[in-house]
Structure 1
Amino acid sequence: MSGNMYQLFAIIIYMVAMLAIGWYAFVKTSNLTDYMLGGRSLGPAVTALSAGAADMSGWLLMGLPGAIYLSGLVEAWIAIGLTIGAYLNWLFVAPRLRVYTQVTNDSITIPSYLDNRLRDNTKLIRIASGIIILIFFTFYVSSGMVAGGKFFDSSFGYEYHTGLIIVSAVVVAYTLFGGFLAVSYTDFLQGLIMFLALITVPLFGLFLTGGIGDTIASIKAVNPEHLNLLPATATAAGIISSLAWGLGYFGQPHIIVRFMAISSVKETKQARRIGIGWMMLSLFGAIATALVGVAYYEQNAGELKDAETVFIVLGQILFHPFIAGIMLAAILAAIMSTISSQLIVTSSALVEDIYKALFNKTADDKHYVLIGRVAVLVVAIIAAILAWNPDSSILSLVGFAWAGFGAATAFIWGKVEVLSSTLYEIVPGFLVCLIVAVIVSVVTFRPQKDIEEEFNRTVVLLREGK
């Protein structure tokens, strides 16, 4: 069996495992809360790793190592900003959202929570939030499909559209049938694969480059500034823009919905420790992979044609083709975990926040679960159409969507070249939203006994850790 066949065999095993998990989740899904939120039954480990895997996508195994390989540790500021943002999200948002969403009429989506929390009789907040999620996540899903198509093209020589269809078909299958449980369980396994791959490649790579001392010396021989977080080329605006990626966590439905699904608020602390530990080690592994790659090519007088493939190339050099195939599966896992998470949240927004709110339809859960599955399929088809052009820019789609969830300001700032090239649009977006939220809250505040009772009950439950 050729090396390429060993790798393809590993990918097939991985995909069959994803479909098997989807079938298992399908059997366990019996109502709308199960389909959209897993029945609020996730344990801390599944919650933590599924949130991490849903967050990182292919950027963790390709984008970040490629940026570090080319430019050095100055590119690590994004990783630092993301880690800080994720920690604060777990610390402040997770426990409060878990309790408050259940207190406010057992809300199962972020828009429905806002609707119930604020007593919006017009349903405007719910519908508008649902539409925002629908628009931006369709672009986000599309970016993942682009990455999937390019993955099969670069790894196995498959035509771009063939790869796009394969990835889309498998993800849609287990998401459509298994819902939130399938997404969470597959994300958990995918998170483990990503973690093990990112730790194994640089660890074994160090033996290849002569250990830490020789590796550092080789990197400095390429560029003395490569290991400097603050090289002469760094700018304050550039560092702020990189750190600001961490602000996006507070507005990412596919991440914070995991907080709503954990089995109890007391488990959010353990989930936070697991999640941040996973994130820090995985980011460190991605950075170390790039640096080992720089040292390896310096020592062997070679040249890496595409910096974003450094993880793939090192895996093929270090390991048997089947193990290298598992490394490839880690990249596919990163891509697919994000697509599935976004698909289920988009489906939830369509059913719970747009369909129900607009038509005020009363039906049994089987009807809504069916509509949810149809929504997954429709969104996937639209995203695939958007992704059909192989020249689609993954980074621009992701960056725009990531900022767009924070504020509509991203539309304006992101489209003005002189502004977007100076400062990432999420910074002004976050600040404008913060100011508007405070002003509107102060101006429109009116005492409401039932809202205050819900708030007080939430505070009590948080203190009791229930």
Structure 2
Amino acid sequence: MHYLDLTIFVLYMLAMLGVGFYFLKKNQGADDYYVGGRNMGSGHIGLSVVATDVGGGFSIGLGGLGFVMGLSGAWMLFTGLLGAWLAAVFLIPKVKRNPAFDKFLTFPQIFGHYFNARVALLAGIISAIGYTGFTSSQILAGAKLASGTFINLDLNTALIIMGVIAVVYTVMGGMKAVIYTDTVQWAILMGGLVFIGIPVSFLAVGGGVEQISFSQLTDLTWLQEQSGRSMEAIRSTLPDEFLTLTNITWPQIVNWAITIIPIWFVGMTLYQRIYACRDEKTAKRAWYLAGLFEWPIMAFMGVSLGILARVAAEQGMFEALGIGAEVDPESGLPMLLRSVLPVGLMGLMLSAYFSAILSTADSCLMASSGNIVTDVIGRFTKADPDSPHMLRLSQLVTLLVGVLALALASTMTNVLNLMLYSYAFMVSGLFVPIIGALFWKRRSNVAAFWAMLVGGATTILLQVTMSAEGFVNIPFLGLRFGLPYGLDPNLFGLTAALVLYITLTILYPNKTHKKWQNTTPSNTRSIPQPITSN
């Protein structure tokens, strides 16, 4: 990498650490650290939501989808648009209109409100585990980008560098640093994709140049001729179905939908941003904005770069990098950028993608840390959430979660799979109980607890025991079977949770409903509970 590109990249990283240090001095307690003081506007929140949800993992993952299936890979983020808008219509009013939630810091505290402390504790554990895995996927995405871009940088070294940067500025700055840097990071990513990544990559696959120069980018005649050559190269290189929206099967759509749509109702990062909004109108506007940016904008940008990487790979453009015939689809995008971008633009584009990765990694770190401090540790302590002690504890836990996420990332190879596994675990455990709590008047602590436990366990068991050929192998039970139609294990975890929740709610309903006391709900143990016989 040229020293100019490296300088641009290093300055960007130092700027992000500077933001974290600035807010280190501003945060007064857990309320500032986790929910930004509850006075954030829709613009910052909306961009933070889309930056967090799409982020680097989906950016690298979408590139991989474009590489293997073309434009149809964009349908994955269409489910994100549906999830965002459904949450705006049905979830946000329930959360923002309930005064009992005004002091909440985490999503599982809602379970403590509707059920009991044991249910809230289990929800906190499930959410913390899921977001630790999700953080790992972002660190892995950054490492793949770095190792595919920097010469002589291996994946493990890149993992350590990415992990340290993401963890340090998140530990220092908390939610305000996360949201404000998300806005900047998203703007950098959009600018990088629209003005650098997509147009330069598109022109490069037309051939005839080793590397595009600034003078060529300002020559209108050359641009017109090269665009024609690029379109011809794309058509002649790719199968016809790559340029359609029908290169997809219905099980793929169903699998994405049942994993991504529900996450908008159980995602800790999303509840933190709902809490951080100043009012319901602000939150709804932010969610509608986030949905539009997810699909079509980010969806088609991501798969388009993946398509261009596929064309470049087929043309042998990566041979100079020492890459053989087999190219990792998720590494194709950084290899493409490394091959085609001129000096200066490479540093800007690399900063753009690291922006996307950091914007998700920081939020997931905050979510997992918040679950552990508030919903697990808070279950056994009465410490004031606004005290300096709790702020220091929050920062320490964030650091430890980051180290654990880095260790997990070192054992995985596929970014998108790691993300979707983490999503599926949270969804199968938490989605049915939260929908029941918010939209069904009948309550059962027993039903909520066992639906969470069995739903999450079912999904994890099926995922862990499934072979590469799609068969579930459970030797100690003598079982070997395939899931029907190639459906995701998450569907079966959700089904188990739904059946249990309905059945146990009918059989073991909460027998009394006392008025909620006006206590501080940021401590899970102090969340007011109804007295029941269950």
**Band the TM-score falls in, shorter-chain normalisation:** 0.7 to 0.9
Q: Give the aligned partner of residue 418 of structure 2.
A: 397
Q: Give the aligned partner of residue 11 of structure 1.
A: 9
Cα distance in 2 for partners of 1:296, 1:386 equals 32
Query: Does structure 1 conserve the Cα–Cα contact (< 8 Å) formed by 2:63 and 2:303?
Result: yes
- Quick check: which has more Rg, 1 or 2? 2
CA-to-partner distance for each residue in 1:300-340, whole Å, 9 max, x for gaps?
67568534345435545664322221211222122222221
Cα distance in 1 for partners of 2:193, 2:499 equals 40
Q: How many residues of Structure 1 are paired with residues of Structure 2 in the alignment?
A: 443
Larger helix percent: 1
Letter matched to residue 115 of structure 1? G
Query: Does structure 2 conserve the Cα–Cα contact (< 8 Å) formed by 1:44 and 1:268?
Result: yes
Q: Give the aligned partner of residue 160 of structure 1.
A: 155
Q: Give the aligned partner of residue 414 of structure 1.
A: 463
CA-to-partner distance for each residue in 1:432-466, whole Å, 9 max, x for gaps?
4344444455552556363699xxxxxxxxxxxxx
Cα distance in 2 for partners of 1:275, 1:237 equals 26
Matched, 1:290 2:286: no
Query: Does structure 1 conserve the Cα–Cα contact (< 8 Å) formed by 2:255 and 2:488?
Result: yes
Deviation of residue 39 (structure 1)? Answer: 1.0
Matched, 1:30 2:35: no
SS of residue in 2 equivalent to 1:239: helix
Within 5 Å, which residues of 2 pair with 1:183-194?
183-194=178-189
Deviation of residue 40 (structure 1)? Answer: 0.8
Flag structure 2 segments of 5+ consecutive residues without an equivalent: 207-224, 429-455, 472-481, 519-534
Q: Are residues 382 and 66 of structure 1, via their aligned partners in 2, closer, same or farther at CA, if it must alter by over 3 Å? A: closer
Cα distance in 1 for partners of 2:419, 2:308 equals 27
Deviation of residue 295 (structure 1)? Answer: 5.5
Letter matched to residue 378 of structure 2? K
Q: Are residues 198 and 97 of structure 1, via their aligned partners in 2, closer, same or farther at CA, if it must alter by over 3 Å? A: farther
Within 5 Å, which residues of 2 pair with 1:60-71?
60-71=58-69
Q: Give the aligned partner of residue 462 of structure 1.
A: none
Cα distance in 2 for partners of 1:61, 1:242 equals 16
Q: Give the aligned partner of residue 374 of structure 1.
A: 396
Q: Are residues 249 and 273 of structure 1, via their aligned partners in 2, closer, same or farther at CA, if it must alter by over 3 Å? A: closer
* More moved, 15-24 vs 193-202: 193-202
Cα distance in 2 for partners of 1:430, 1:199 equals 39
Query: Does structure 2 conserve the Cα–Cα contact (< 8 Å) formed by 1:198 and 1:282?
Result: no
Q: Are residues 91 and 218 of structure 1, via their aligned partners in 2, closer, same or farther at CA, if it must alter by over 3 Å? A: farther
Matched, 1:240 2:305: no
Q: Are residues 326 and 434 of structure 1, via their aligned partners in 2, closer, same or farther at CA, if it must alter by over 3 Å? A: farther
Matched, 1:52 2:61: no
Match of 1:219 among 225, 234, 239: 234
Matched, 1:329 2:383: no
Query: Does structure 2 conserve the Cα–Cα contact (< 8 Å) formed by 1:86 and 1:246?
Result: no
Q: Are residues 398 and 320 of structure 1, via their aligned partners in 2, closer, same or farther at CA, if it must alter by over 3 Å? A: same
Letter matched to residue 380 of structure 2? L
Cα distance in 2 for partners of 1:11, 1:226 equals 33
Q: Are residues 272 and 364 of structure 1, via their aligned partners in 2, closer, same or farther at CA, if it must alter by over 3 Å? A: closer
CA-to-partner distance for each residue in 1:56-108, whole Å, 9 max, x for gaps?
232333221222123223333322222222332233223432333x4336211
Query: Does structure 1 conserve the Cα–Cα contact (< 8 Å) formed by 2:80 and 2:294?
Result: no
Flag structure 1 segments of 5+ consecutive residues without an equivalent: 454-466
Query: Does structure 1 conserve the Cα–Cα contact (< 8 Å) formed by 2:383 and 2:390?
Result: no
SS of residue in 1 equivalent to 2:515: helix
Query: Does structure 2 conserve the Cα–Cα contact (< 8 Å) formed by 1:91 and 1:272?
Result: no
Match of 1:175 among 166, 170, 177: 170
Deviation of residue 404 (structure 1)? Answer: 0.2
* More moved, 248-257 vs 35-44: 248-257
Deviation of residue 32 (structure 1)? Answer: 1.6
Query: Does structure 1 conserve the Cα–Cα contact (< 8 Å) formed by 2:9 and 2:350?
Result: yes
SS of residue in 2 equivalent to 1:263: coil
Q: Are residues 316 and 104 of structure 1, via their aligned partners in 2, closer, same or farther at CA, if it must alter by over 3 Å? A: closer
Q: Give the aligned partner of residue 110 of structure 1.
A: 107
* More moved, 208-217 vs 174-183: 208-217
Letter matched to residue 193 of structure 1? I
Q: Give the aligned partner of residue 424 of structure 1.
A: 488
Query: Does structure 1 conserve the Cα–Cα contact (< 8 Å) formed by 2:60 and 2:141?
Result: no
Q: Are residues 363 and 98 of structure 1, via their aligned partners in 2, closer, same or farther at CA, if it must alter by over 3 Å? A: closer
Q: Give the aligned partner of residue 70 of structure 2.
A: 72
Letter matched to residue 276 of structure 2? A
Q: Give the aligned partner of residue 145 of structure 2.
A: 151
Cα distance in 2 for partners of 1:381, 1:175 equals 13
Q: Are residues 238 and 4 of structure 1, via their aligned partners in 2, closer, same or farther at CA, if it must alter by over 3 Å? A: same
Q: Give the aligned partner of residue 130 of structure 2.
A: 136
Q: Give the aligned partner of residue 435 of structure 2.
A: none
Deviation of residue 383 (structure 1)? Answer: 2.3
Within 5 Å, which residues of 2 pair with 1:417-456?
417=466, 418=471, 419=482, 422-441=486-505, 444=509, 446=511, 448=513, 450=515
Identity of aligned residues (%): 24
Query: Does structure 1 conserve the Cα–Cα contact (< 8 Å) formed by 2:106 and 2:374?
Result: yes
Deviation of residue 361 (structure 1)? Answer: 4.4
Cα distance in 1 for partners of 2:298, 2:403 equals 32
SS of residue in 1 equivalent to 2:153: coil
Query: Does structure 1 conserve the Cα–Cα contact (< 8 Å) formed by 2:148 and 2:331?
Result: no
Query: Does structure 1 conserve the Cα–Cα contact (< 8 Å) formed by 2:131 and 2:422?
Result: yes
Matched, 1:269 2:284: yes
* More moved, 140-149 vs 355-364: 355-364
Q: How large is the Cα RMSD of the aligned pairs?
A: 3.0
Q: Give the aligned partner of residue 198 of structure 2.
A: 202
